[in-house]
Structure 1
Amino acid sequence: MMKKVIALLGDYYHQEANISPALNHALLKLKNEGEQMEVEYIKAEQLTEKLQEHPDIVVLYKANRLNPTEEKPRYWMCEKLEEKICQYVKQGGSWFVWHSGLSSYENFKKYYEMVQGKFDFHPSEHQHVSYQPTGEVTTIRNQFSMVDEHYFVTCDESNTDVFLRAVSAKGNTVAGWTHAYGMGRVVCLTPAHNKEELVSNEMVDLLAKSLKLSYL
């Protein structure tokens, strides 16, 4: 059965054109493994309508704040949309939060409780980061390293299954986690930032395996 993927990618610091090739490669890898997948790239204003079509997975690589360099913040998510997103997952949808998709959503309480985590900060300079599977989710097995934004996050580890950690000279933090929410599932993944690292073989493999967690 064909799985429908909706992807909402790109923000002030992250260009959709750099992100979408990684997702395309990961979905192609899954297709080659026998999964039937199709993806549709959308804009934020289309999300409400697309949720009504009950996609199998929604991939979010987009910070909530639209104007991070300005003093007065503007956000693309609103309380009405927050409710629709949470309801979509409760009713059996899968919400895949990737990199900047963890940024600036903590003011939306229901959504934050659903995701069980948020972006806190990253060092100003990119780091040599080692991404290390924890063994708690057996489909993620391969450790690898890359020069990346080392995302430090808050994650409610007691209420989710951590499957990846990120370790650099700056410290050790959670980098991937998943849990059920109602009848649906949430998957969160923090790497990667640079165009080159996004399409690396190691990252594409990790992304494909993490996406698979969305429907296991």
Structure 2
Amino acid sequence: MNFRNLDLNLLRVFDAIHAEGSTTQAAARLGLTQPAVSNALNRLRQQLGDPLFERGPSGMEPTPAARRIAPVLSDALRSLERSLGADQEFDPATSTREFRMIVPEALELMLVHPLLKRAAAMPGITFRLLPVNSPGYKEMVMSREADIAIFPGHFNDEAIRSTHVCTLALCIIARAGHPVYGDGEEFTADDFFEAGFVVLGDEIRRSIQFHQESMASGRERRIVLTATRIWSMLHTVA
């Protein structure tokens, strides 16, 4: 490759795709359309003779060549931005930014206290937690209306970079003397499909692997109430 013939604007596209793991989010970061970013990536692939990024389960994943290029290019671009005064570096101590996070209600108890404790030295920063059943949550992440989403189940969307955060066990809660469960120590598969369930949100339920496997088996549990809050679920089954 002749470096003199390389369109340096394409390197900004490369850097954005590597950072975002998605051509859609790279486009939002650069203020371009997604087709324009895809076209730029194709041109850079031709000029460098390498695929650079390939679609994977968690987004656009860099090839070995792209992984070699990325840190050098990122350092060069950040250095240039600083020298031109174009880089407004994020300073947690002085920032007044609000971080919007889509978080399942069950994780709020685990997340909020350590998050606020860590942010105590950042008095200007605030957080807004949004429920997982927010309408258009994927669009909110892609448009940067939300900064991060923690979502249950397997999330496979090439437009959004994702990673596994934690594993939580599912449990079934039943009142003492329940007509199906009773006071027994075993809850069989037949019991499961006979009992009436209170569940949390259609969107959440559909995303959980257990529900997906249950549907694939050809048997569907009996849902008597779809709730929006965990606390109302506990009160209902008590």
TM over 0.5: no
What is the TM-score when the length of structure 1 is the normalising length? 0.26
More helix per residue: 2
Structure with higher RCO (Cα < 8 A, 6+ apart): 1
More strand per residue: 1
